[in-house]
Structure 1
């Protein structure tokens, strides 16, 4: 999830700080995700991010290898 989110932010020239402001999700949540303290976000937060970035929630489903 972390890498996919980074990719989406890079494509849209957004920072975690800006995403935090747009979604209402605490910037500390993104910091914890980025540093590996947490590996996933809540479903509610994923919905918020998907809405702001205008993507499907499917984008957060890990690729099966």
Structure 2
């Protein structure tokens, strides 16, 4: 999942800190996603990610 997020971040010229700010979560949450500490993110967290990146949740279902 992180590979997809990272790809979208690069496309949109965003960094992890900006993503966290857009998601309205602590930057540690994004870091935990990147490091694989969050293995099964909640639906709410996935919605925040998708909204912050301005993509459909379907982008993450393809994995």
- TM-score band by shorter chain is 0.7 to 0.9
Q: How does 1:1-65 map to 2 (within 5 A)?
A: 1-63=1-63
Aligned residues: 63
Whole-Å Cα distance in 1 between the matches of residues 33 and 11 of structure 2?
A: 19
CA RMSD after TM alignment? 1.4
Deviates more, 1:43-52 or 1:7-16: 43-52
**Aligned partner of residue 4 in structure 1, secondary structure:** helix
Q: Which has the larger radius of gyration?
A: 1
TM-score between the two structures when normalised by the length of structure 1 = 0.82
Return structure 1 stretches of 4+ with deviation > 3 angstroms: none
The answer for unaligned runs of 5 or more in structure 2 is none
Whole-Å Cα distance in 2 between the matches of residues 39 and 3 of structure 1?
A: 14
